[in-house]
Amino acid sequence: MMSDQPPPVGYARAPGAEGGPGPRPGGLTALAVINFVLAGFGLLGLLGTLAGSAAMDLVPTTQMSAEDREAFTQAKQLMKDPTVKVLAALDIVPIGLLIVAGVGYLRQKKITGRTIGNLYAACSVLLTVAEMAFLPIPYGAGVTMLSYAIAFVYPLLTLFFINFTFRDDLVQ
Amino acid sequence: MSLLHVNARHLGLIGRNAAYHTVRGGAGIMFLLMALVFGLFVAQIILTPVEMMMSSAAREGHPLPTEEVLSQIINIARPIVRWMVGGKLDLQPPSVEDLAKAATSRTNPAQTPLDRWAAFLLDDRPALMSAILLILMFGVPLLVPVLAFNQTSGDIQSRGLRYLLLRTERANIFFGRFLGTVVFSIAVLGFIVAIITSYLNWRLRIYHSGPLWGWSFHGFLALVLTAVPYIALCASISASVSSPFLSLITSSLIIGGVPLFAWLGALKWNAVGLVKLLTPWGVQQHLLHPEASHVAGAAVLCIVYTAVYLLIGRRYFERRDL
């Protein structure tokens, strides 16, 4: 039997109770803010990558030493590699999903919050694995397994939080 | 009721809830994310040159023996480690005499205590893990406010604690939330140290597993002992400030600002340097000292600082308007 009385002052409504999931936990707000910040950084990185190859053509190499010029030419060729361009363009997918999921967290939505959040995590992990496998990293660029481990941190945390900690808060 | 009006059952219940709500409240998420990224970045900075050195030699068809890799790393790391344990920074490349001195480091009676300390961290213990732990020990106090700033201040501001006060003593709330925060930080620090040690153990394979995991466990305990006094300081500030944001700013300023102020002040007037005693900054690296007496002394100091901060915080929390 549901009571007609409102819940006592100072007590949060239980998750899943009639009328919605209850007040949004601060952690969910924090996750949404992190999503927006990471999406912003991702967009900046994407623009940097796409503009990088064009900007590199404008850099004069006449003043460089032979060693520097060779390294610069290698970097320029790398930026023009189609694999780099495709992987960079694919980055737009997790960025978009981050923004949609962030809005979903704020509105405590099941589809745009939990489902899109899971989709973002899966996309991000797959994209990092694809970069590990296909990106032609020049030898000596300092990219190791630990660099990739850092890229896995947020997607894996997202999976954990939205499927366990905030599972009952993303139900609308 | 017993000592300080603390009830163990209430303490456990409030501590468990505090640890759970740390994550749901957002502070835990921020701390987990920042600590994980910081820990992995530090490990990356230390380990990448080693991996590059090993893969470069393997690529040229001359894989380096482990001893050769370690010797090169240690020679690069020695001045930095010596500086981090309290010496002066000298980044000149090591001369032939320095290298010869380093080779006889454990037998040379003319060594300074700092040299012996650096030799212990680099020669007697897994050097890479020592370097990572030293940097983490300097970073963890600065990360702690992100986790611990809102132990009570948010509920003081919203007056939500009034409902809890009907059922338990103030001391149980104060100490219970402190314990919950400590438990969460222990879990996060343990996770970070375990990831880094696993990477060193299974990916680089430079050290034997036993000594590596043993030293990592020592380092984990040192990290926990480093973090606990700062969590207590944040508990104290959180109990005395009615705004979570103000509590975060105050905690960060005190933890980061006091040692900086003491250091800068001591450049002009030595007595100002004593201000640093307000926080346990500078004690933490002694938890990795070669002599057991130093380690025990540093651990006791951390516990004393914790107790003092907690008693001050509890006293204020008992008397304030909630």
For B37-48, what is each residue's pLDDT tens digit?
Answer: 999 999 988 888
pLDDT of B203 reads 83
More confident residue, B2 or A42: A42
Classify residue A96: in a domain, yes or no: yes
Give percent of chain B with pLDDT exceeding 70.
91
pLDDT of A20 reads 63
Residue B40: its chain A contacts at CB < 8 A? 146, 149-150, 153
Mean pLDDT within B198-202: 90
DSSP B31-84: HHHHHHHHHHHHHHHHHHHHHHHHHHHHHTT-PPPHHHHHHHHHHHHHHHHHHH
Residue A85: which domain range? Answer: 26-169
pLDDT of A57 reads 75
Asked if A39 contacts A98 with a C-beta cutoff of 8 angstroms, the reply is yes
Q: Is the pLDDT confidence value at B278 over 80?
A: yes
Classify residue A132: in a domain, yes or no: yes
* Chain B: closest CA distance from residue A48 (Å): 22
Classify residue A87: in a domain, yes or no: yes
Q: Which of B21, B24, B32, B42 to mutate to test the interface with A (most CBs of A within 10 A)?
A: B24
Specify the number of domains making up chain A.
Answer: 1
Asked if B282 contacts B209 with a C-beta cutoff of 8 angstroms, the reply is no
Mean pLDDT of chain B: 86
Q: Is the pLDDT confidence value at B92 over 80?
A: no
Q: Is A164 an 8 Å CB contact of chain B?
A: no
Classify residue A7: in a domain, yes or no: no
User: pLDDT category, A9, cuts 50, 70, 90?
Assistant: very low
Q: Is the pLDDT confidence value at A135 over 80?
A: no
Collect all residues from B whose CB is shorter than 8 A from any CB in A: 23-30, 32-33, 36-37, 40-41, 43-44, 47-48, 51-52, 56, 59, 160, 162-163, 195, 199, 203
Classify residue A32: in a domain, yes or no: yes
Classify residue A11: in a domain, yes or no: no
Question: B52 vs A11: CB contact, 8 Å cut-off?
Answer: no
More confident residue, B214 or B93: B214
Domain spans of chain B, in order of start: 3-65+128-319
Mean pLDDT within B56-82: 76
Closest in A11, A140, A154 to B33, CB measured: A154
pTM: 0.84
Mean pLDDT of chain A: 81
**Side-chain-facing half-sphere of B261: CA atoms under 13 Å:** 13
Q: Is the pLDDT confidence value at B190 over 60?
A: yes
Least confident of A6-15, A32-41, A77-86, B75-84: A6-15
pLDDT of B115 reads 80
Segment holding B180, helix H or strand E: helix B170-199
Tokens of A168: 């009952």
Q: In a 3-state reduction of DSSP, which class is residue B7? A: coil
Q: Does the ipTM surpass 0.85? A: no
- Report for A12-16, B70-74, B239-243: range of highest mean pLDDT: B239-243
Residue B160: its chain A contacts at CB < 8 A? 10
Question: In chain A, which residue's Cα lies nearest the Cα of B200?
Answer: A146
Chain centroid to Cα A46, Å, comes to 12
Question: In chain B, which residue's Cα lies nearest the Cα of A10?
Answer: B160
Query: Which residues between 99 and 158 in chain A have a beta carbon less than 8 angstroms from any beta carbon of chain B?
Result: 139-140, 142, 144-147, 149-150, 153-154, 157
